Amino acid sequence: MSDHREIETKYEVDEAATVPDLAAVEGVLRTSTDRVFHLAATYYDTAALDLARHRITLRRRVGGKDDGWTLKLPDGADRREVTVPLFPDDATDPADSAALTSDGVPGTLARRVLVYTRLRPLLPVAIIENDRYTTYAWGADDELLGELADDHVHTVSLLDGGVEKSWREWEFEIPDTTAGHAAAVAVDRTLRAAGARAALSASKLARAIDSAPEPPAPTLPDRPAKASAGRLLVVALARFRDRLAAHDPLVRERADDAVHQMRVATRQLRSVLTEYSAFFTGPAPAALSAELRSLASVLGGVRDAEVLAARFTALAGASPDAAPAAALLATAQRERERTSWARVDAYLGSDRYFTLLDAVDAAISDPPLAKRAERPATSSLAPLVHKRIRAFGRDAAVLLAAAGTNDDDVHAIRKQAKRLRYAAGVAEPVSGKMIRHQVAALAAVQQQLGEFQDAMIARDAVAAIDLGSVDSATAFALGRLDGAEERRATDARAALPNLLARLS
């Protein structure tokens, strides 16, 4: 499987248009051409066109230099292209030849879009044939500046009531280099002078089946201070939803830090629903918040094991005396991580997860806002979160000073600090310096409480080892490790009062 960023500009062009000589373009020293390719592709989507609505295309194509399966995903103004060979024997990496799904699509690509398709079957929606004439533009030192594709397209929509279409278009694709971007500007002027116009559709598929992307996510007005509380909250939900969706395929691929980032997005969504619950109405927000909490818990099993495994592995390498005990702990956490991944995979493949995603979408498209959400965010959200942060600082300081405060109480303080930090970030666009100061102070509190929590779960990991199964030297080392983590937790807790005082 390969993955690269596709940077191209598409143009409408008349059938009679003449392809200009790119050798005359500034910076282009020579051009070359390729043989004409007849490309035949079948495009897949759900019956509801879930992929097309998100500017995603999935195709199986033959006839060119890059026969195979291609998935194109939005990447800002450009797109990211993921390719898989047509047949397993073509794959150099066993992961590329993942078994075809019941829809006939490679599993490795189907998993990438599950967050959008949500187990709905992928079906052929269009056949697109294309005679492609390609011109390559070369610069100094034979550097490729870009390639111009002159495409003569014929399509057949396989949707109910679909029709056949034919047209011609140009595409200029560049490498992500300084010279490539400069060439794109110069070639654009030349192509427009030859009669090219900006493309009306985002892709050949969109034109073939007359699909349109879903409306863009809600955004803040140019002057955020004029936004209502409800608009600010819905914009935040959309932003966090998109962050969760972006990390869903990365979690499925076991990408570094993906579980942590998806868990953060889950908590950010929940912070909007819980800390600003008074701005919503009905039972749906509370039910959605509860399910988001479950997802965060499932992801947390992997995350905690990842952190501890890395911590103990580093300790084993840095301290020869503690190495056997640290290695034993690291092995236990890697096993815990493995079993936790099974829970994550089961959850992310369940109807329960896809129902959760549907509920998040519904909260954005048709938000259950209360009447007070119509008030200006400047005079409603910002003062509310400012007041809650100050109250949290005072209450947490009192709780820490109380004689009966235990580790669970400190953990509860950590969770509340995290929710308030995310909630304060939502109000930050319409708040002043005070909120920004409080966000920074909450970040410091959260970091210190993170040190405390890491130490506590490390102690739990030590306590889980059966001392009767290890030799006396390892048992002694485990005791020393537990003592070190206890001191770490004590020091982290002792630093909290001064940090909490900055919240007032």
Range scoring the smallest mean pLDDT among 133-137, 368-372, 401-405: 401-405
What's CA 472's distance to the chain center, in Å?
47
In tens, the pLDDT along 239-251 reads 999 999 999 999 9
Query: Do the beta carbons of residue 497 and residue 348 sit within 8 Å?
Result: no
Say if domain 224-501 classifies as CATH 1.40.20.10.
Answer: yes
Domain boundaries, the chain: 2-209, 224-501
Find out whether 171 and 10 touch, Cβ atoms under 8 Å.
yes
Nearest one of 41, 34, 52 to 86, comparing CA atoms: 41
- Whole-angstrom distance, CA of residue 476 vs CA of residue 484: 13
- Measure the CA–CA gap between 325 and 320, rounded to whole angstroms: 10
Checking if the pLDDT of 186 tops 90, the result is yes
Tell me how far apart the alpha carbons of residues 215 and 73 are, in angstroms, rounded to a whole number. Answer: 17
pLDDT over threshold 60, residue 96? no
> Is residue 89's pLDDT more than 70?
no
Contact 55, 215 (CB under 8 A): no
Over 70: is that where the pLDDT of 30 sits? yes
Cα separation, 432 vs 48, whole angstroms? 44
User: d(Cα 357, Cα 159) in Å, to the nearest integer?
Assistant: 26
Q: Taking a C-beta distance cutoff of 8 angstroms, is the pair 395, 388 a contact?
A: no
* Cβ within 8 Å of residue 212, ≥6 positions away: 53, 206
The pLDDT tens digits of the residues spanning 256-283 come to 999 999 999 999 999 999 999 999 999 9
- Between 99 and 167, name the one with better pLDDT: 167
**Overall average pLDDT of the 186-200 stretch:** 96
Report the pLDDT value the prediction gives residue 76, as an integer from 0 to 100.
75
Give the pLDDT confidence score for residue 318 in this predicted structure.
79
Neighbours of 38 (CB within 10 A): 12
Of 123-132, 186-195, 453-462, minimum mean pLDDT range:
453-462
Q: Can you give the pLDDT at residue 317?
A: 82
Residues 431, 434, 438, CA angle at the centre, nearest 5°? Answer: 105
Residue 389 has pLDDT above 80, yes or no: yes
Fold of 2-209: Hypothetical Protein Pfu-838710-001 (2.40.320)
Whole-angstrom distance, CA of residue 456 vs CA of residue 475: 19
pLDDT digits (tens, 9 = 90+) for 284-307: 999 999 999 999 999 999 999 999
The pLDDT score that the predictor gives to residue 97 is 44
- According to the model, what pLDDT value does residue 88 have? 53
CA nearest to 39, candidates 135, 158, 134, 125: 134
Is residue 491 very low, low, confident or very high in pLDDT (cuts 50, 70, 90)? very high
Q: Residue 103 burial by CB count (10 A; 0-12/13-18/19+): exposed, middle or buried?
A: middle
In the chain, what percentage of residues exceed pLDDT 70? Answer: 97
In this predicted structure, what is the pLDDT of residue 95? 46
